[in-house]
Each structure stands twice: as structure tokens, then as C-alpha cells.
């Protein structure tokens, strides 16, 4: 049931609220005594208060949406950074085990290779595609891998077991102690 006050159509609840003026209701007065202008003002106040409450609710809702979006973006950025750190650490370990001299530089170079797009971190934490990237990197930039050092050729062994270099004075040899001074045998 809708009623019209001052050219405004309102519902039953709004009409009941508009009719309550000075804690009295229209039923307490005769209909002719009701000030229609006062009812219209009160109805306009109620409508303005309702619109203000809706506006504040929408502003608060928008603010919560913005906060939610910022938090979601922060979580996504953190997950991406964690994924990249895991891939980087696994790459560095694999490159070091393959003999790459500077794995950090190798990682920077590897990120520019098209094969790096195939590197992925699975849900179980296993990184796939690193071996192909390292093989491609070693193939295109072999200087990144340390070359095995040549073992020095053994020098000829001299007839004596003297470790001193040639031309050095021969070490003095000590004579054994006489048996009477030997601590193991005791006094005679």
C-alpha cells in the first residue's frame, strides 16, 4: 500500500515513519489537523537520511573492494616472487653441479634464452625444464663452464728418498742413542 505525501510516493513503512511527528501519530489527530507540509518535510528528511546511509554503505563497500584488491595483488606478487626464487635457486644448484663457473651470471643469461620459457614450477615443488636451458646455455656459451685443469706431469723420481731440492745441503743424520741412555731399556 503506497501513500503520496507532497507529491512523493512512499511505501507503507516510509508512510508510517513519516506520520510519526513529535512522538504522536495521525491516528491521535483528526485528518484535517495534519500539517501536510510538516509531513512532507519529515518525509524528505527521512529520504535524505536513507540516501546518505546508502551512499555511506556504497563508499564503505568500495573501500573494502579496494582493500581486497590490494591484498589480492600483494598475495599474487608474493607467490610470483616465491616461485621465481625457487626456480632461481634450483637453476643455480643445477648449473653449479654442471661446472658452470658463475651460476649467477649464467642465470641472468639463461633468462634471455627462449628455452627459459619452458621452465616451470609444479605444484609438488619440482622445477622442470632447467636441464634443457643449461644444455642450451653451455652449447651457446661454453666459456661459462670451467675446463678441467691439466694434471701436472710427475717429475722424475731420484734414486734417494731425500725430499730436499737438488743442490741443497744434505740433512744431518742423527746417530742412535747408546743403549745405556735409551729410556726404553732403563738403567743397566
Residue 165 has a pLDDT of 61
- Alpha-carbon distance of 109 to 40, in angstroms, equals 76
Q: Which residue has the cell 609438488?
A: 124
Least confident of 48-52, 72-76, 175-179: 175-179
State the Cα–Cα distance between residues 124 and 117, nearest whole angstrom: 19
pTM over 0.85: no
Q: Is the dihedral of CA 135, 138, 139, 140 positive or negative?
A: positive
- 82-108 core/surface letters (b: 16 or more CB in 10 A; e: else): eeeeebbebbbebbeebebeebeebbe
Give the tens place of pLDDT for each residue, 95-154.
999 889 899 999 999 999 888 989 988 888 889 999 999 999 999 888 888 876 676 676
Amino acid at each position: 500500500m503506497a501513500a503520496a505525501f507532497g507529491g512523493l510516493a512512499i511505501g507503507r513503512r516510509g508512510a508510517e515513519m513519516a506520520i510519526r511527528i513529535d512522538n504522536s501519530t495521525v491516528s491521535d489527530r483528526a485528518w484535517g489537523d495534519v500539517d501536510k507540509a510538516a509531513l512532507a518535510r519529515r518525509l524528505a528528511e527521512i529520504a535524505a537520511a536513507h540516501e546518505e546511509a546508502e551512499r555511506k554503505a556504497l563508499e564503505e563497500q568500495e573501500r573494502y573492494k579496494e582493500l581486497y584488491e590490494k591484498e589480492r595483488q600483494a598475495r599474487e606478487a608474493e607467490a610470483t616472487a616465491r616461485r621465481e626464487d625457487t626456480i632461481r635457486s634450483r637453476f643455480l644448484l643445477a648449473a653449479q653441479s654442471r661446472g658452470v663457473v658463475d651460476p649467477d651470471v649464467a642465470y641472468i643469461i639463461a633468462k634471455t634464452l627462449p628455452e627459459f620459457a619452458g621452465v616451470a614450477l609444479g605444484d609438488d615443488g619440482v622445477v622442470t625444464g632447467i636441464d634443457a636451458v643449461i644444455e642450451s646455455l653451455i652449447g651457446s656459451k661454453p666459456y661459462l663452464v670451467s675446463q678441467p685443469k691439466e694434471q701436472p706431469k710427475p717429475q722424475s723420481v731420484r734414486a734417494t728418498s731425500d725430499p730436499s731440492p737438488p743442490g741443497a745441503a744434505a740433512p744431518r743424520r742423527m746417530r742412535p742413542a747408546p743403549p745405556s741412555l735409551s729410556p726404553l731399556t732403563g738403567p743397566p
